Structure 1
Amino acid sequence: MVTLNRIHDARNNIMDTVIKTPMYTSEQLNKISKNNIFLKGEHVQKTGSFKIRGATNKVKQAVEEGAKYITAASSGNHGQAVAYIANKLGVPSKIVVPEDAVLSKLNAIESYGGLIEKCGTTSAERLPRAKEIAKKENGIFIPPYDDPFIMAGQGTVGLEIIDQIESADIIIVPIGGGGLLSGILTAIKETKPSIKVIGVEPEVANDTFLSLQAGKITSIHDAPTIADGLRTSQPGDLTFPVLLKYLDDLILVSEEEIKHAFQFVLERMKQLIEPSSATTIAAAMFHKLGVENKNIVAVISGGNVDIKQINHFF
C-alpha cells in the first residue's frame, strides 16, 4: 500500500525531474462558485500532466532493479510520462494506446522516444497487451495507477498543496483509475486530516461512483466522455481501498458542465487544460460541493489537448 513515508521518499526521488506547479486564481471563478478557488496547475508540469510524478518514481525504481525495456498502457498522458523518463534514463519503451487516442498525445509519445502500438478502446483491452509485450521482451510493465510507486509519486501533489495553501478546506481531484486521488488522499489525511478531499467523475464514466455505492470494485463497459483521461473501466485493486478508507465524497458532473468549465478557463483565465481537468472546476462552478466561503483547491490534472479537437469542447 502507499504510505506517507513512501510519498516523502517519492518527493526526493523525483525532484530532479518534476517541477513544483503553481496555483492559479480567478476573481470571477470565486464569485461564480461563492468560494475561494485555487487551481493546482499540473497542466504546466513536465510532459503536460501530473503523470510524470508517478512515472518517474516507478521507472527509476524499475531501472535501478535492472529493467532494460519498459512498456505502458495509456490513453496518452501516462504514456508520455513513461516515454519521457525512460528515454531520459536510456531505456527503450513501447506504449500501448487506444485506437481513438488523441493525436497530440501520440505525437508527444513519439517525440519522447516511445514506440506506439494501438489496441482497442478501453483500459481492459490495452493493459493485458502491454503486459504481454513486457513479458515477451523481458521488460517491465509500468502500471498507469495501480502500483505503490505510482501512487506515491502522484501523492506528491498533495504535499505541495499543503505547502502552498495552508488554509485549504477542501481539495477536489479528478478520478480515473484512482492513482492521483489515492496518492493525494494518503498525503492529506496522514498529514492534515481536517482537509476534506472530494473526487470528481463524469456522469458517463462513473465506475468509481458505482464501486463506492456497492462497496466493491464495479466495472463499466463504456465511458463516452470528452474527459478522455478518465475513461477507465474500474478503479484499481490498490487504489480503491484507499478511497474507501479516506475519501470524503465523490461528485458527478455532466458533459455540458465539463464543457462549460473548459470554456471558462480558456476564455477567462487564458489556460488550456484538458476536459479531464475541467471536471474539478465544473464541480465548483455548478455548486456541487454544497459550501460557501471556503478555500478550495481544484487539481488541474493535465493540459495535453489536440488543438484540432477543441471545437468538440464547445
Structure 2
Amino acid sequence: MMTNSSRQPDRAGVLRAAEKIAALLPPTPLLPLQIGDRTIWCKAENLQPVGAFKIRGAWHRLTDLDQAERTCGVVGVSSGNHAQGVAWAARRLGIAATIVMPVDAPRVKLDATRALGAQVVLYDRPGGEDREAVAARLVAESGATLVHAFADPWVIEGQGSTGIEIAAQMEKLDGGGPDLLVCPCGGGGLSAGLALACPDASVVPVEPEGWDTMRRSLAAGEVTPIGADPPATPCDSLQPMSTSAINLGVLKNRVNLVATVTPAEVRAAQRLAFSRLRLVVEPGGAAALAAVLTGKVAVTERTAVVLSGGNTDPAAFAQVLLGSD
C-alpha cells in the first residue's frame, strides 16, 4: 500500500484540518432521527459540494502541498467520491489532478470528476488490474504527489474534521458530544479520522458483506485483504481490497466492533433516509445507518451516524425507492 509520508496522523492535525474546512465550507447538517425510543443524530455529508465527505481530506492534503509539489500536480485513486474531492480542491487551488478510477465506476461519478477538470485514467477492476500499480506509474512519470483515498495522514486528519463538527453540533443541540460514532468503512480513512477527533467516543466501522478488510485486519492484528471472489455489492465506494497499516494503527486500540451489512439492508436504509430525512444517500453512504436500523449496532444515549455520500445514478436510486426488499 502506497503512502505519502512516514508522518502519522494525530488529533492536532485533525483540529488544524477542521479549522481549514470551517473557513471554506459551512458545517453539513446534523439531523435527528427517532429509532425506537432513542434519537440518533445523522451527519449529512451527502450534502457537501461534491456529494461526499471526501472533500475534507482532499482539501487538507492539497493545501499543505508546497509550491514545487503543486507544480507537479497530484494523483488520486478512487471509485468516485475521493476523485471528486481531489478534483474540486485541485481546481480551486490551480493544481493539475489525475485520478485513477475503475472502468465500472458509476457514470455519475466519472462524469462529475471530469467536469471538475481532472484527467481520468481508467483501470479494469473487474479484470483484477492493480490500481496501486497504475497510480505508482503515473507518480513516477510526472513527479506528482499521491493523494491516497485513505492511506494518507493528511487525508485521515481531514476526514476527522467530520467528528469535530459532530461534537460541536451535538453539544449545541443535545447538551453533549457523541459517545458512539457509526460510519461507513472502505479503507478506514473516515473511521480513523473520527477516532482521532473524538477520543472519548466508541467508533464502529460498517463494511459491506464480503468486503470486510477492516474486520479481518483488526481480528488478525495485521493488514488482511478481503477473501477471494468477494460478492457483488451496490456499495461501490466501499470496495478496497485491503485497508492500510496507517489506518489499522489508529483503529486497533479503539474499535471493539465492526459491523457488516447486506445489499438488502443498505437499500432499506436508503429508502428510510429518503422518506424520513428527505435525503438522497448512495449505497455506501447508507451502510452505517443500515447497521443501526438492523440492530447490528446498538444505539446509545448519544449516537451519531455518518451518511457519507449521495452520489448515485438517478435510475439506480429510483429502482431502490421502487423496491420492496
Is it true that 1:305 corresponds to 2:312 in the alignment? yes
Shift of 1:26: 3.1
CA distance in 1, matches of 2:231, 2:243: 13
Identity percentage of aligned residues: 29
CA distance in 2, matches of 1:150, 1:223: 28
Is it true that 1:238 corresponds to 2:257 in the alignment? no
Instruction: Look up the match of 1:179.
Output: 189
Instruction: Look up the match of 2:221.
Output: 215
Shift of 1:103: 0.5
Shift of 1:291: 4.5
Shift of 1:12: 2.3
Which deviates more, 278-287 or 261-270?
261-270
Per-residue CA distance 1:69-126 (angstroms, 9 max, x = gap): 2111100000101111111111111111001001111111011101111102179722
Does the 8 Å CA contact 1:94/1:115 hold for their aligned counterparts? yes
Shift of 1:160: 0.9
Q: How does 1:1-314 map to 2 (within 5 A)?
A: 1-27=8-34, 30-31=35-36, 34-68=37-71, 69-121=73-125, 125-166=130-171, 167=176, 168-189=178-199, 193=200, 195-220=201-226, 221=228, 222=230, 224-291=232-299, 294-311=301-318, 313=320, 314=323
Shift of 1:169: 2.6
What is the SS of the residue equivalent to 2:42? strand
The aligned amino acid for 1:66 is E
Does the 8 Å CA contact 2:179/2:202 hold for their aligned counterparts? yes
Does the 8 Å CA contact 1:24/1:38 hold for their aligned counterparts? yes
Does the 8 Å CA contact 1:11/1:156 hold for their aligned counterparts? yes
What is the SS of the residue equivalent to 2:57? helix
The aligned amino acid for 1:208 is M
Does the 8 Å CA contact 1:19/1:45 hold for their aligned counterparts? no
The aligned amino acid for 1:53 is R
Shift of 1:280: 1.0
From the superposition, tell whether residues 310 and 255 of structure 1 become closer, same or farther in structure 2 (CA, over 3 Å).
same
CA distance in 1, matches of 2:9, 2:257: 20
Superposed CA RMSD in Å reads 1.8
Per-residue CA distance 1:243-270 (angstroms, 9 max, x = gap): 1021232111122111111111123322
CA distance in 2, matches of 1:46, 1:158: 18
Which deviates more, 172-181 or 135-144?
135-144
Shift of 1:127: 2.2
The aligned amino acid for 1:93 is A
What is the SS of the residue equivalent to 1:66? helix
Does the 8 Å CA contact 2:182/2:306 hold for their aligned counterparts? yes
Per-residue CA distance 1:157-199 (angstroms, 9 max, x = gap): 111111011332311011101111001101111xxx1x22211
Shift of 1:295: 2.4
What is the SS of the residue equivalent to 2:242? coil
Does the 8 Å CA contact 2:202/2:254 hold for their aligned counterparts? no
CA distance in 2, matches of 1:118, 1:298: 32
What is the SS of the residue equivalent to 2:70? coil
CA distance in 1, matches of 2:299, 2:18: 32
Unaligned runs of 5+ in 1: none
What is the SS of the residue equivalent to 2:24? coil
Unaligned runs of 5+ in 2: 1-7
From the superposition, tell whether residues 124 and 239 of structure 1 become closer, same or farther in structure 2 (CA, over 3 Å).
farther
CA distance in 2, matches of 1:291, 1:151: 25
Which deviates more, 180-189 or 214-223?
214-223
Per-residue CA distance 1:52-74 (angstroms, 9 max, x = gap): 10001111122445322211110
CA distance in 1, matches of 2:153, 2:270: 31
